[in-house]
Amino acid sequence: MPNRYLASTAGGLRTLLGLASTFVLAGGYLASACFLIAALHKPFAPARVGLWHFNDEFSLHLGFGASPIALPGTELLGWWLVPAGVLLGSAGVLMMNKLATAVLHWEGRVWSAYVTETGFIERVRGWIRLHWTACIEIGLVVGLLVADHVHLVPFSNTPFLLVLAWVSLRLRHLRWRDVGLVRPDSWAQTIAIGVLAGLALECFSLLVTEPLIARATGVLPDLSDMRPVVGSPVMLGIAMAHNWTLAAFGEEMAWRGYLLNRFMDLSIRRNLGPFLALILTSGLFGIAHSESQGLGGMLQEGFAGFVLGLLYLASGRRLAIPVIAHGTSNSLALVMIFFNRYPGL
C-alpha cells in the first residue's frame, strides 16, 4: 500500500510538472513572437506599432498596427523597438528551445521508465489485437454519419447501421438477444416504466432543455420536415408508423444495443467504460440528427440519447424500456405537431 501511494503521488507530481512546463513554454513562445512581430512591423507602421505608457493608468500597451492608439499616451522606445524586439524575441525563442529540449528529455526518461515498469507497450498491443475490429466498425459508423451529413445516404442512416450491427454480431458469434433484444419478465411493468420515462423525457425536453438550448444557441430544433403532419391525420399515421419502427425500435437496436456496447468493448478502464461509452454514443447520436434538425436538434437529441442510454444500462442492458420510452416521447411530440403546438415548428 505505501509503495502504491508513493507511486500515485509521484505520478501526480509528474503530471503537474508537465502541465506547468507546457504553460511556461506556450507563454514564453507567445511573448517572444509578440516582440518579433512588433520589431518587424515597426518600419511599415511607425505610428501604430510601439510600446506605450498611458497617461491616465499604470499599464503598458504593445501595439501591432491594427488601429491607431486612441488614448493619450507616451511611446517609450520609438525606433529602439526594432533592435529591442529582435533581441528579446530571439533570446526568448532560444531560451524556450532549451527549456523545451530539457522538458522533452525529462519526459522521455519518465515515459521510458513508465513503459518498462508497467509493460504499457505490451498492453497497448494486446488491446489492439483484441479490439481492432471494433475500431474499424466505429470508423465505418463515423464515415456513415459524414456521408449522411453531405446527403449521400438515402432516407435514413438507421438501416445501414442495423446492417453493420448484424454483420458485427454474426462475425462475433452473437445474436440480438445478447445486446438486449429479449422478452421482458413483466410486459405490464416494462410498458408502464417505458411510457412514464418517455413522457417525462419529452416534458423535460419541452420545459427545460430546449429552452436552455435556445437561450444558449439562439435556435430551436429545426422541425420543418414535420410540417406536413400539421392537421393531417394521414401524415400523422405515417409519421407514427415511422416512429415506432425505424426510430424507436431501429435506432435503439442500432445505437444502444449495438454501438453503446461496442464502445464499452473498447474501454481500457472498466469502471469508467459505461460512462465514457454513453457520452460518446450520445454525442454521435446527436450528430446523426444535425443534418435534419440543425444545431438545436443535435444538442437536444444528444441529451435524449444520453437519457435513453441510461435507461438501457439501468434496465440491465435490455432494449424494451428504451424502445418504449423513445417511441412514447416521439409520439407525444408528433401529437403536438399535429395540433401545431410544438415550439419552433
Would you call 256 exposed, middle or buried from its count of C-beta atoms within 10 A (0-12, 13-18, 19+)?
Answer: buried
Q: Which residue has the higher pLDDT, 342 or 5?
A: 342
Per-residue b/e over 101-131, b at no fewer than 16 CB within 10 Å?
Answer: eebeeeeeeeeeeeeeeeeeeeeeeeeeeeb
What's the mean per-residue pLDDT of the chain? 83
Q: Is 231 strand, coil or helix?
A: coil
Q: Are 258 and 278 in contact (CB under 8 A)?
A: no
pLDDT at residue 260 tops 60:
yes
Q: Which residue has the higher pLDDT, 80 or 246?
A: 246
- pLDDT, one tens digit per residue, over 98-110 is 888 887 777 667 6
- pLDDT, one tens digit per residue, over 3-43 is 444 444 555 666 677 677 778 888 888 888 888 887 887 78
Roughly how many angstroms between the first and final C-alpha of the chain, as a whole number? Answer: 60
Residues, the chain, total?
345
Question: What share of the chain has pLDDT > 70, as a percent?
Answer: 80
- pLDDT, one tens digit per residue, over 193-233 is 999 999 999 999 999 999 998 888 888 788 888 999 999 99
Average pLDDT over residues 72-80: 73
Question: What share of the chain has pLDDT > 90, as a percent?
Answer: 43
Strand order in the sheet with 73-75: 60-64, 49-54, 73-75
**Sign of the C-alpha dihedral computed for residues 155, 198, 316 and 309 taken in this order:** positive
- pLDDT, one tens digit per residue, over 288-339 is 988 778 888 899 999 999 999 999 999 999 999 999 999 999 999 999 999 9
pLDDT at position 2: 46
3-state secondary structure string, 164-198? HHHHHHHHCCCCHHHHCCCCCCCHHHHHHHHHHHH
What distance in Å separates the CA atoms of residue 29 and residue 42, rounded to the nearest whole number? 20
**Sign of the C-alpha dihedral computed for residues 306, 308, 309 and 311 taken in this order:** positive
pLDDT at position 322: 97
Q: Are 149 and 298 in contact (CB under 8 A)?
A: no
Of 313, 303, 314, 197, residue with least CA distance to 263: 313
**For residue 62, which phi and psi values (nearest 5 degrees)?**
-100, 110
- What are the residues facing 50 on neighbouring strands? 63
Q: Global pTM?
A: 0.64
**For residue 66, which phi and psi values (nearest 5 degrees)?**
-70, -35
All cell numbers assigned to 250:
431501429
pLDDT at residue 139 tops 80:
yes
At residue 66's C-alpha, the angle toward residues 65 and 69, to 5°, is: 70
Phi/psi-derived region of residue 220, left when phi > 0, alpha when psi is between -120 and 50, beta in every other case: beta
pLDDT at residue 186 tops 90:
yes
pLDDT at residue 116 tops 90:
no
